[in-house]
Amino acid sequence: MYNKTTADASPTGRSTTSFVAVTLLLGSAAQLLAIRTGLETRGRIWLLLAMWAPAISAFSTGAPNRQLAWAALKKSGWRFLGHGLTLGFAPTFLKTVLLAVTGSGQWDSQHFELSPGGHSLNAVHHLMLLGSGPQSFSYFGLNLTLSITVWAMMVALTLAIGEEVGWRGVLQPSMEARYSRFRGTLYVGVIWAFWHLPLNLKGYNDSSRPFLNALLLFPIALVAFSFVLAWLTRASGSVWPAALAHGANNTISPAFLLTAKSWGADSAAGLIGMLLVVAIVVGSTWRTRSSDSGTVALPKA
């Protein structure tokens, strides 16, 4: 549950509206500047500003929002950090399994170069902590596990926390207080998803079908992931586990062992993997609430 300090902040309609307005305006402006100056060159600094727009808005749109942000930041939520890391990696893990089981994926030789016999790796074309040269599969497994864990932590500390302190630290409790747990999370997910619209229409997350991705697929995935991040924040009283989950997801989703043979397979496997994780989290939460109350717990509408 959110802690008492968070609840006492009593967000007002005006402070919530101000937060959303400033976040959307600042985030959109930064994304457009990133597009104009080059997403892979000078525009990277504007991408950084875009990811920190929710945090900037949280601390600049009134005392209630600042109180919520500080309350969510001050508590470490350390008992849920492992949950955050696991849940952040899980959608891509499941996507990889689906691609392998259905035969719609193939080894990502662009990033993980196999030896001629396929018994080891010649090179890893990623920034790996234990080296990127020739290595056995067992060494590669250790190298990959350590690398994605450390990079997930780095992304969480430098980028994802800038978003999560706003979306989950400020907007989530505000929306839940005004509506309900389910509807509040749904609304946060929709706002979060369409906040990415300028970059997605440009093809940043999907250059093959940018409009379909921006207007349908990406919003579905982010609304679903919002329920995972909301649960982490609610259970820990902190935004750090959610930031770690966000960082973990961003770290491995671009490339992880297999690549899909088609755009359709990639999109379907990715979306199904995300929805499976959400189903597991929501199902576990309802079972826990049912067990605690002795009655069947129904979702709040």
State which amino acid sits at residue 242. A
Query: What pLDDT, on the 0 to 100 scale, is given for residue 284?
Result: 83
pLDDT digits (tens, 9 = 90+) for 128-172: 999 999 999 999 999 999 999 999 999 999 999 999 999 999 999
With respect to residue 9, please indicate whether it lies within any of the assigned structural domains: no
Number of separate domains in the chain: 1
Q: For residue 89, give Cα distances in angstroms to 107, 112, 206, 250, 300.
A: 19, 19, 20, 9, 28
The torsion angles phi and psi of 206, rounded to 5 degrees, stand at -165, 100
Structure confidence by residue, pLDDT tens digits, 205-219 = 999 999 999 999 999
For 63-73, b/e burial (b = at least 16 CB within 10 A) is: ebbbbbbbbbb
Q: 145 vs 70, 103, 142, 256, 284, CA distance in Å? A: 32, 24, 5, 11, 26
Within-domain flag for 68: no
Residue 226 lies in a domain: yes
Range of the domain at 248: 77-293
In a domain, 160, yes or no: yes
Contact 160, 250 (CB under 8 A): yes
Residue 47 lies in a domain: no
CA-to-CA dists, residue 67 to 5, 12, 72, 73, 234, angstroms: 8, 12, 9, 10, 16
Position 38 scores a pLDDT of 93
pLDDT at 288: 61
Instruction: Kindly write down the DSSP assignment for every residue of 15-55, as one continuous string.
Output: HHHHHHHHHHHHHHHHHHHHHHHIIIIITHHHHHHHHHHHH
Q: Structure pTM?
A: 0.90
Beta bridge partners of 269: none
- Collapsing DSSP to helix, strand or coil, 280 comes out as helix
Question: 3-state class of 256 per DSSP?
Answer: strand
Is residue 210 one of the residues assigned to a domain?
yes
Give domain status of residue 25, yes or no. no
* Residues of the chain where predicted confidence (pLDDT) is lower than 50: 1, 3-9, 290, 292-301
pLDDT of residue 11: 59
The DSSP code for 1 is -
Using CA atoms of 125, 160, 57, 169 in order, give the dihedral in degrees to the nearest 10: 170
Separation of alpha carbons 185 and 225, rounded Å: 10
- Distance, in Å, from the CA atom of 248 to the CA atom of 1, rounded to the nearest integer, reads 23
Is 36 a member of any domain?
no
Tokens of 101: 């089981």
Query: Pick from 155, 151, 152, 175: which is nearest to 163 by CA?
Result: 155
* Local structure of residue 115 (DSSP, 8 states): P
pLDDT at 201: 96
Max distance between CA atoms of the chain, in angstroms, equals 64
